[in-house]
């Protein structure tokens, strides 16, 4: 009897573990099945090359490029903030700071990732944009990609810095000791020995940060303007893939309409990009683990 109960429990726990596979498959199924409905109406060629995204207008165009541009510009701005700040912080915390400083600073840095994104959106729209308008770009419109991009950058600093720091700290102490024995200074050890040795891990941190930035929704939905706009200028208003999904979901689209299906096609595009970045990060991290 005891063996039976044990096996029942094992089976139950196993079933719980299987739900993660079920959720993954359900995501793939939902995105694929609704997108198939979309691509039966909209040719894939148009989707990839048309320069207008106006699925809800009478004259409907379904070119993903404007949304893709918006997404890449806001993520690019975000990465331009998060990479230098995150990497410098990581190098400082792992190679320069005393253990006490590190213990004290890291939790506060982690809080940056804990701020609700809707609050970041508020901050981007009503604090960062007016600040930029006053000091740097007086002609910049109230909705733009720059402010949300900068705020996304701040938001993903902890992701970039803590993963980079893990990679830097995993570099064996002997390498540092050897370099110090040759008379290298801390900075030389950090920049010429530790950083190159941890390169793939640091690059993985960047890839994960990029994946976060691409998938970030509320900041851009609030502060970027929700107008599809084929531009590479971060000072212009534009929509991202995620912001478009939010915009459509706020309206009341009939189930099964082409507009309804378009958010799944947009979601599939988003998935393809984040999946690529996540796989890249995973591969890079595995390489850096095998280095020693």
Contacting other proteins within 34-93 (CB under 8 A): 34, 84-85, 88-89, 91-93
Helices within 136-257 (DSSP H only):
146-169, 173-181, 186-188, 195-197, 199-215, 218-223, 241-250
- Count of residues interacting with other proteins (CB under 8 A): 83
Least distance (Å) from other proteins to the CB of residue 158? 8
Q: What is the DSSP letter of 183?
A: T
Residue 189 CB: number of other CB atoms within 10 A? 20
3-class DSSP string for 52-89 = CECCCCCCCCECCHHHHHHHHHHHHHHHHHHHHHHHHH
Q: In this complex, which beta carbon is closest to other proteins, that of residue 47 or of residue 58?
A: 47
Chain mean position to CA 157:
11
Q: What are phi and psi of 56, to 5 degrees?
A: -100, 0
Please answer whether residues 137 and 235 qualify as being in contact, where contact means their C-beta atoms are separated by less than 8 angstroms: yes
Give the span between the Cα atoms of 212 and 237, in whole angstroms: 21
Stretch that binds other proteins, among 11-19, 43-51, 163-171, 231-239 (CB under 8 A): 11-19
Least distance (Å) from other proteins to the CB of residue 126? 6
* 257 part of the interface to other proteins, by CB under 8 A: no
Choose, by CB under 8 A, the member of 56, 246, 259, 287 that binds other proteins. Answer: 246
Spatial neighbors of 13 by CB under 8 A, at least 6 apart, are none
Spatial neighbors of 140 by CB under 8 A, at least 6 apart, are 129, 132, 133, 146, 235
Stretch that binds other proteins, among 44-52, 57-65, 229-237, 241-249 (CB under 8 A): 241-249
Choose, by CB under 8 A, the member of 67, 152, 157, 198 that binds other proteins. Answer: 157
Burial class of residue 185, CB neighbours in 10 A (0-12, 13-18, 19+): exposed
> Binders of other proteins among 161-200, rule CB under 8 A?
185-188, 190
Q: In this complex, which beta carbon is closest to other proteins, that of residue 10 or of residue 177?
A: 10
Least distance (Å) from other proteins to the CB of residue 56? 16
Q: In this complex, which beta carbon is closest to other proteins, that of residue 45 or of residue 116?
A: 116
> Binders of other proteins among 206-225, rule CB under 8 A?
208, 211, 214-218, 221-222
> Binders of other proteins among 88-147, rule CB under 8 A?
88-89, 91-93, 96-97, 105, 107-112, 114-123, 125-127
Stretch that binds other proteins, among 27-35, 42-50, 53-61, 168-176 (CB under 8 A): 27-35
Choose, by CB under 8 A, the member of 18, 178, 232, 272 that binds other proteins. Answer: 18
């Amino acid at each position: 009897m005891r063996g039976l109960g044990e096996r029942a429990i094992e089976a139950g726990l196993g079933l719980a573990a299987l739900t993660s596979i079920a959720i993954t498959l359900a995501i793939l199924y939902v995105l694929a099945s609704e997108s198939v409905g979309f691509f039966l109406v909209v040719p894939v060629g148009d989707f990839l090359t048309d320069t207008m995204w106006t699925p809800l207008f009478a004259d409907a165009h379904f070119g993903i490029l404007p949304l893709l541009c918006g997404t890449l510009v806001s993520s690019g701005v975000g990465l331009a903030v998060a990479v230098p700040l995150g990497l410098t912080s990581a190098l400082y915390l792992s190679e320069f700071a005393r253990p006490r400083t590190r213990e004290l600073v890291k939790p506060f840095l982690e809080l940056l990732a804990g701020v609700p994104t809707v609050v970041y959106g508020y901050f981007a729209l009503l604090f960062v944009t007016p600040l930029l308008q006053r000091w740097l770009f007086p002609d910049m419109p109230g909705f733009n990609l720059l402010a949300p991009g900068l705020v996304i950058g701040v938001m993903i600093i902890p992701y970039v810095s803590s993963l980079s720091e893990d990679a830097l700290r995993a570099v064996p102490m002997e390498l540092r000791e050897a370099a110090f024995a040759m008379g290298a200074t801390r900075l030389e050890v950090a920049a010429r020995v530790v950083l190159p040795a941890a390169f793939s891990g640091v690059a993985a941190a960047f890839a994960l940060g990029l994946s976060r930035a691409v998938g970030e929704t509320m900041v851009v939905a609030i502060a970027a303007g929700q107008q599809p706009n084929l531009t590479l200028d971060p000072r212009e208003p534009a929509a991202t893939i995620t912001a478009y999904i939010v915009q459509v979901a706020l309206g009341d689209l009939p189930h099964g309409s082409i507009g309804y299906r378009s958010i799944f096609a947009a979601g599939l595009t988003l998935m393809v990009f984040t999946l690529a970045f996540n796989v890249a990060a995973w591969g890079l991290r595995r390489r850096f683990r095998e280095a020693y």
